[in-house]
């Protein structure tokens, strides 16, 4: 089974929107959240947008860190 990220482009886009929502809910800038998570601001920006040709996928570790910081179960990052 040869699948790539392109098949899930819409899911990655929605994940980025949910991350941006929770970040803004906490009143954090992308730079502040990136510092808290230990990732680069540019990666976080691309992750939230996910509108370019290249799809950016976070690691599970990064998703768990985000959920903990946001005070939500990690599953909330995938729910409508």
- 40-79 per-position pLDDT tens digit: 999 999 999 987 677 888 999 999 999 999 999 999 999 9
Supply angle C-alpha 20, 32, 62, rounded to 5.
Answer: 65
CA distances from 3 to 25, 38, 43 (A): 34, 29, 23
For residues 76 and 26, the answer to whether their CB atoms sit within 8 Å is: no
Using DSSP's 3-state secondary structure scheme, residue 64 falls into helix
Measured on CA atoms in the order 65, 69, 32, 46, is the torsion positive or negative?
A: positive
What's the DSSP call for residue 39? Answer: S
Q: What is the pTM of this model?
A: 0.89
């Amino acid at each position: 089974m040869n699948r790539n990220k392109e098949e899930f482009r819409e899911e990655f886009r929605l994940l980025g929107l949910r991350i941006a929502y929770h970040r803004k809910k906490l009143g954090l800038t992308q730079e502040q959240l990136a510092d808290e998570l230990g990732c680069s601001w540019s990666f976080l920006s691309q992750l939230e947008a996910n509108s370019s040709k290249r799809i950016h996928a976070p690691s599970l570790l990064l998703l768990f860190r985000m959920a903990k910081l946001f005070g939500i179960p990690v599953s909330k990052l995938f729910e409508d």
